[in-house]
Amino acid sequence: MIAQDTSEAECLAENRELRARLTEAKQELAAIHSGAVDALVVPVNGSEHVFTLEGADHAYRVLIEAMQQGALIATAKGLILYANSSIASMLKVPLEKVIGSVISEWIAPQSQACLNELLRLGPGGKHEGELLLARTDGTQLPTFVSAGKLDLSRESDQLWMVVSDLSEFIERKKKESATLAQGLAKEAQADADKKLTAAARQSASYMRSLIEASLDPLVTISAEGTITDVNDASVQVTGRTREELIGTDFSIYFTDPEAARSGYKRVFAEGFVQDYPLSIQHANGHVTEVLYNASLYRDEEGRVQGAFAAARDITARKRAEAEILKLNAELEKRVEERTMALAASKERLRLAAEAADIGFWDWNLANNTIRWDKLMFSIYGMPESDDGLIHYGDWASHVHPDDVAQQEASLRDTVEKVGRNQREFRIIRDPDHAIRTIRASDAAIRGEGGKATHVVGINLDITETFERLEEIRKLNATLKSRAAELETSVKELDAFSYSVSHDLRAPLRAIDGFSRIVEEDYAPKLDVEGRRLIGVIRGEAQRMGRLIDDLLTFSRLGRQRIESVRIDMEAMARKVFEELRAAEPERVIQFDLHPIPPAFGAEAMIRQVWINLIGNAVKFTGKRERAEIQVGVEPGEAGYPVYFVRDNGAGFDMRYVDKLFGVFQRLHTNEEFPGTGVGLALVQRIVHRHGGRVWGESELEKGATFRFTIPDPEKEPDTGQQPPPKPTQ
Amino acid sequence: MNKESADILIVEDNQNDALLTIRSLKHHNLASSLIHVADGQAAIDYLFAKGAYSERDPLNLPKVVLLDLKLPKINGLEVLSLIRADGRTKILPVVILTSSQEESDLIESYKLGANSYIVKPVEFENFSKAIYEVGLYWLLLNKPPVRATSQ
C-alpha cells in the first residue's frame, strides 16, 4: 500500500499521518467497543475512508462469515467482542445477542472448567479440546474448540475461538456403533460425550473390534424387544448367525422366554438390570447359564433408542459352585458320620468304663498337667476339681508309701520307652484312709519326633476282687483240710465198718452158736421154760446180726460211687415183686404194674429201693385178706416222672411222717411188723444220692403211698412223652 | 501134734468160731483129720514146715485151708499171697472163711488166688450148714492136686 517511489519526506509525512490515523482508529475502535460508534471515517491519502468493521477487513470478514465453524473474539474476561453467524446459529440465538455478552453464558456447566483454562491462556498460548455449548432452549451442543490469545495489543490480550459442531458427527457415529453408547458406564455419563469424541477421533471400527473381541455375548435390543445388533460371542452362544439373530425377538433364545421378556421390560421401565439370571439355549440344545447386565441408551435428545445387554457366562462358575456344594455336602456328611461314630464309640467306652468302675487319666507331658475323670476322683476318694486337673503330687501322695518308688519307676519306663505298662499298687483312700488295691494300665502316646507327649491310663479298684480272691483261697485251704479230715473219717469209718462186720458179728455168732449147743447137748436137763429162754437169746442175737448187716449196707451206700446206667424200671419192679412174692406163696396179693419209663442210676441201689418199698408194701399188707399193691408213675412237678408204690396195708399216722425215714425209726412194734427200721432210711439215702426226692403219705389202716424221683443227670427234665420200650430180657 | 499132717487146716484166731467150725465138721463126720492154728504165722509155719512145725513133711499138704482174714501177726490176705508165691503151695485150695462182707476183701482175696469166699452167717444153723457144705465139697467132692493126695 505504500508507494516505493515516494521521497523520504513524503514517507516521513505519511508515517506521521498513519500514526495519527492509528490513534484515531484506536479511538474509534474504543468507541466501537463501547458501542458508541459503528463506523469511522479515516482520512487516507488526502481522501477520507469510512472504516466500519464490516468494511475493515472485508475479505476476512466474508471468509469468516462463510465458515461453518463458529468464530469469536472475546476479551480476557470473556466479553464477546466479535462472533460470526455460525456461532449464533449454533447457539440458536440472533447474533446481536451473542456479541457483547459474556462467553460463559453459552458454555455448558460441564465445560466451564475448560473455558476457565482458555481464559487463563497466556499471550500466544493455544488450546484445543471439546467444549459443550449451552443453548437457550436448554439443549447442549458438543463442539470441538481451537482457541488462543491474540497479541495485538498490550492493553488487552484478546481471546479468539473457533468451534466446530460435532453433533452430526456424533449422530453418525451413534448410528454406526450404537453399542458404543451403551459401553459408556452410567456413572461416567457426564463425560460420555468426551469419550465419544475421543472415540470419534480415533476410529469407530476400533470400538467395534473391542465389542467383537468381547467374550461376553453383547446385544442391543429395541424397545419392542427386537434384536438390533449382536457381537460374535452372541453368535457363538446361540449357534445362529448374526443375520439370523438381528430382527428376531430377543426372548426366544432363552429356555425361559417369559423371564427374558420381563428382563428387558424391566430395563425399559427402570433403566437397567443387574445380574439378571437367564439361560441361553444354543441351536443344538446346549444351555448356557448367564447373568445379564443391561441398560438403556438414548440419542442426544434423550430419547430412548434401545437397550444394551451384556451377558456373562456363568456355566463354569455354576458348575464349580455345584461341585463345591456337593463336595461340601459330602464332606459334611462324612464329618457328621465320623463325629457320630466317634461320639458313639466314646459313649460306649465311657459306659463300659463306668460300668466297670474304671477311672481314666491323661497326663500331658508338654505342660505337665494331669486330668482325671469322675471315677478317678471317686476311686481316690478325692473331691472333684472343677477342671478335672490334679497335680502329680496329689496322686503320688495317695499311693501307699511302700509302693510309690516302684510305681514312679514304672511310669518313667512308660514315658522313656514310649511304651505301656500294667501295674498293681495300693493307695490310701482319702476319706476313710482305707488301703485299696488298684490295678492300673498305662500307655504313652507318641508325638511328632517320636517322643511321648501324653501318657493315658486307667485305674481299677480291685480291693474287693482281691479280698474275694483271698477269701476263696482261704476257703479252698479250709476245704482242702476238711477234705483231708473227711478222708480220714472215711478211713476210720471203713475201719469201723470192718470192725463191726468182723468183730461184732463173731460174738453174736458165738451167742447163737453156743445157745444152740446148749439146746442140743443139754436138752434133757432143760425144761420148757429153759428152752424158751434160750430161744429168746438166739432170736435176739440173730436180730442184732440183721441190724448190723443193715447198718453196714446203709453205711456203705454213702461211700459207694454211683455209676449211672439206663435201668428198665418196669422190669426191675416186676422182678423184685416176683422174688418177694415167692417167699410168701400162701398170700393173696393183687399186684398192678403200670407202664414205667426207664431211669438212669446205679442198678444195685435202685433195685434196693424197689426191694424196700415193694417189700414194705408186702409186709404191711400182711394182715389183709387180699393185699393190693400198685406200682406206676405220675407226672412230676419238675418234669421228672414220679414213681409210686401204693398199698392197702396198715399205713401210718401222718403225725409221725417226719420220722418215717430216720435210721432205726419204726412206727410199728416188732411184734406187729418185724423190721430193723433201716429200710426207708436206706431208700432215702439212695434217692438223695441220685439227686431225687422220696416222700410218703398215708392214713392209718387205709394203706400208704410212697413216691420217689430219680432225675437224669445228663438230661433236661422229661417232657412227659413215653420213651420207647426196652426189649425184654 | 507138731509132726501131724491133716486134711483140713483151719486158720482162725477166734476160739469160739474155731470151736463152732470144728463142731460143725465133726457133726458131719468131716473132722477126722484137721489142724487148727490161731494166727497167720502159725499157718505159714505149718504149711512150710517151719518153726514149731519144722519136723513136719512140707510135702504133706492139706486138702483145703479154711483161712480167716483178720488174724494176728500175719493177716489172712498176706498168708494167702505167701501160699500162692511158693511153688509148693501155689495150687493149694484155699477157702476164705470170714465175717467180713467188705467187697474190697472179697475182690482182693480172689485176686490173690482164693478158691472160695464164704461169709460166716451169724445164725448157727446157717453157719453149720455152710461149714458142712464147704467140707463136703473140698474133702469129698473135689479132686485135689496130685501132691496133696500123695499121702
Does A428 score more than 60 pLDDT? yes
- Chain B hits for A513, Cβ within 8 Å: 16, 20, 124, 127
A512 close to B (CB below 8 A): yes
**DSSP bridge pairs for A298:** A304
Predicted confidence at residue B84, as pLDDT, reads 94
Contact (CB, 8 A) for A457 and A443: yes
Q: How far is B101 from chain A (nearest CA, A)?
A: 7
Cβ(A44)–Cβ(A38) below 8 Å:
no
CB < 8 Å to B98, chain A: 502
Higher pLDDT, residue A54 or A92 = A92
Give me the mean pLDDT over the A720-727 stretch. 42
CA distance B81 to A142: 156
Select the more confidently predicted residue: A627 or A97.
A627
Is the pLDDT reported for residue B95 higher than 90? Answer: yes
What's the pLDDT at B131? 92
Residue that has been written with the C-alpha cell 465453524 in this structure: A69
| pLDDT exceeds 50 at position A203 | no
pLDDT-derived band at A47, boundaries 50, 70, 90 = low
Q: What is the pLDDT of residue B149?
A: 42
Residues of A in contact with B20 (CB under 8 A): 509-510, 513-514
Q: Give CB contacts under 8 A, 24+ apart, made by A353-362.
A: A353/A458, A356/A460, A357/A460, A357/A461, A358/A458, A358/A459, A358/A460, A359/A458, A359/A459, A359/A460, A360/A456, A360/A457, A360/A458, A361/A456, A361/A457, A361/A458, A361/A459, A362/A454, A362/A455, A362/A456
Q: Which of A107-121, A244-258, A522-536, B102-116 has the lowest mean pLDDT?
A: A107-121
User: Can you give the pLDDT at residue A26?
Assistant: 64
What pLDDT, on the 0 to 100 scale, is given for residue A274?
83
Instruction: Identify the weakest region by mean pLDDT among A174-178, A337-341, A346-350.
Output: A174-178
pLDDT at position B1, please?
A: 47
- The arithmetic mean of pLDDT across residues A368-373, rounded, is 89
**Nearest beta carbon to residue B124 from set A498, A503, A513:** A513
Task: Extract the C-alpha cell encoding A670.
Answer: 416188732
Q: Per-residue pLDDT for A719 more than 90?
A: no
- A165: part of which helix (H) or strand (E)? strand A159-165
Higher-pLDDT residue of A202 and A600 is: A600
Give the pLDDT mean for A435-452: 87
The dihedral formed by the CA atoms of B4, B6, B10 and B11, expressed in degrees to the nearest 10: 50
Of B16, B69, B102, the CB nearest to A510: B16
Q: Which residue among A501, A509, A512 sits closest to B100, beta carbon to beta carbon?
A: A501
Q: How confident is the model at residue A727 (pLDDT cuts 50, 70, 90)?
A: very low
Shortest distance between the Cα of B145 and any Cα of chain A, in A, equals: 32
Q: Do A501 and B16 touch (CB under 8 A)?
A: no
pLDDT given for residue A214 in this prediction: 67
- The residues on B that touch A, with CB distances below 8 Å, are 14, 16-17, 20, 23, 69-70, 98-102, 120-125, 127-128
Q: Does A505 reach chain B within 8 Å, measured CB to CB?
A: yes
The structure's pTM equals: 0.41
Residue A221 reports pLDDT greater than 80: yes
What percent of chain A has pLDDT above 90? Answer: 12
Contact in structure between A641 and A635 (CB atoms under 8 Å): yes
Termini Cα distance of chain A: 181
Sheet containing A227-230, strands listed edge to edge, beginning at the edge strand earlier in sequence: A227-230, A218-221, A304-313, A287-298, A272-281
| Closest CA–CA distance from residue A667 to any residue of chain B (Å) | 27
Half-sphere exposure of A480 (CA within 13 A, CB side): 6
Question: What's the gap in Å between the CA of A556 and the closest CA on chain B?
Answer: 9
Mean pLDDT of A391-420: 89
Contact B122 A503 (CB under 8 A): no
Would you state the pLDDT for residue B151?
40
Query: Dihedral angle at the C-alpha atoms of B83, B89, B90, B95, nearest 10 degrees?
Result: -60
Which chain A residues have a beta carbon less than 8 Å from that of B23?
517
Cβ contacts of B100 on chain A, cutoff 8 Å: 498, 501-502
Inform me whether the pLDDT recorded for A187 exceeds 60. Answer: no
Of B69, B100, B122, the CB nearest to A512: B122
What confidence category does residue A324 fall into, taking pLDDT thresholds of 50, 70 and 90?
Answer: confident
> Which residue of chain A comes nearest to B71, CA vs CA?
A502
Q: pLDDT at residue A478 above 60?
A: yes
Q: Tell me how close the Cα of B55 comes to any Cα of chain A, in angstroms.
A: 34
pLDDT score of A728? 40
B124 and A516 within 8 Å at the Cβ level: the answer is: yes
Chain B within 8 Å of A605 (Cβ-Cβ)?
A: no
Interface A-B, measured as beta-carbon pairs within 8 A, has a size of 62
- Report chain A's mean pLDDT, rounded to a whole number: 80
Task: Check residue A56 and give its pLDDT.
Answer: 45
A546 by DSSP, 3-state: which?
Answer: helix
Q: How confident is the model at residue A644 (pLDDT cuts 50, 70, 90)?
A: very high
A 518-577 near B (Cβ less than 8 A): 538, 541-542, 544-545, 549, 552
- Contact at CB, A542 and B123, closer than 8 angstroms: yes
For residue A53, name the pLDDT band (cuts at 50, 70, 90): very low
| Interface contact flag, B20 A509, Cβ < 8 Å | yes
Residue in B20, B98, B101 closest to A513 by CB: B20
Q: Which residues of B touch A517 (CB under 8 A)?
A: 23
Q: In what order do the strands lie in the sheet with A369-372?
A: A389-390, A369-372, A358-364, A452-461, A435-446, A420-428
Q: Is residue B66 predicted with pLDDT exceeding 90?
A: yes
Averaged pLDDT, B86-93 = 91
Place of cell 387180699: A626
Nearest beta carbon to residue B102 from set A501, A513, A542 = A501
- Alpha carbon of residue A236 to chain centroid: 47
Residues in A touching B17 (Cβ below 8 Å): 506, 509-510
Query: What is residue A153's predicted lDDT score, i.e. its pLDDT?
Result: 53
Q: What is the ipTM of this complex?
A: 0.76
Give how far A508 is from chain B: nearest CA, Å: 6
Confidence of residue A6 (pLDDT cuts 50, 70, 90): low
Q: Tell me which chain B residues have a C-beta less than 8 angstroms from the C-beta of A505.
A: 99, 120, 122
Tens digit of each residue's pLDDT (9 = 90 or more) over B46-57: 999 998 888 888
Is 90 exceeded by the pLDDT of residue A593? yes
User: Which residue in the set B99, B102, B128 is minimally distant from A506, CB to CB?
Assistant: B99
Give dist(CA A606, CA B56) in Å, integer. Answer: 54
Q: Check B122 against A501: CB less than 8 A apart.
A: no
pLDDT exceeds cutoff 80 at A346 = no
Which chain B residue is nearest to residue A494, measuring alpha carbons? B102
- Nearest CA-CA distance, residue B100 and chain A, Å: 5
pLDDT at A605 over 60: yes
Residue A656 φ/ψ, nearest 5 degrees: -105, 20
Does pLDDT of A723 surpass 50? no
Given pLDDT bands bounded at 50, 70 and 90, which one contains residue A207?
A: low
Q: Does A110 touch chain B (CB under 8 A)?
A: no
Is A513's CB within 8 Å of B14's CB? Answer: no
Element housing A353 (H / E): helix A315-355
Residue to mutate among A509, A520, A549, with most B CBs inside 10 A, is: A509
Nearest to B17 among A497, A509, A517 (CB): A509
**Least CB–CB distance from A545: residue in B23, B102, B122:** B122
Comparing B99 with B118, which gets the higher pLDDT?
A: B118
Query: A-chain residues within 8 Å CB-CB of B125?
Result: 516
Among A93-107, A206-220, A396-410, which stretch is predicted with the lowest mean pLDDT? A206-220
Query: Per DSSP, what are the bridge partners of residue A628?
Result: A590
